[in-house]
Amino acid sequence: MSLKMSIRRKQRRAPLSRVDRVRRTFRQRASRTSGRIAPAARNTRDAAAGRILVARGWSAPRLRNAGTYVERELGPRMGGMLSHAARRVEPPNRARRGRNAAVTMVAAVSAVGLAGALLSRRGDRPSTADQAETSETGSADEDRQVRTS
């Protein structure tokens, strides 16, 4: 076979399956339909945008009023109701009398012991004022009277 014959001859295509034919038909019809629907969709979008702006203008003051009402009137009322409910639900405090009494007793015994220790040490040795006085004037008797010789 010559080269000319192979160029002129049309290539045979495999026959299309039923699914491929349906798919090609839907694509062709969809492209035609989109060309017709596009202007209507644009008009609808513009009209919807205008309506949305009107709805936003209508709802904004009402939302502002509702927010003010919640802040000034409803909020404090709800807060009071919740506080009251919390007080009613809260369990009673446990009595800590036994623990407080024990702590008080330990503190009192410690204070008495400390005072007794300080008083007993004070009687055992002379104070610094007595030592200074003894060294200047002379020796001290047993009843803490200074003798001058």
For residue 117, give the 3-state DSSP assignment.
helix
pTM: 0.35
Residue 9 vs residues 2, 12, 37, 65: alpha-carbon distances, Å: 11, 9, 42, 81
Better-predicted residue by pLDDT, 98 or 76 = 76
- In the predicted structure, residue 109 carries a pLDDT above the cut 80: yes
What's the CA gap between 42 and 33, in Å, rounded? 15
* pLDDT, the chain, mean: 79
What is the structure's pLDDT at 138?
Answer: 54
Better-predicted residue by pLDDT, 16 or 61 = 61
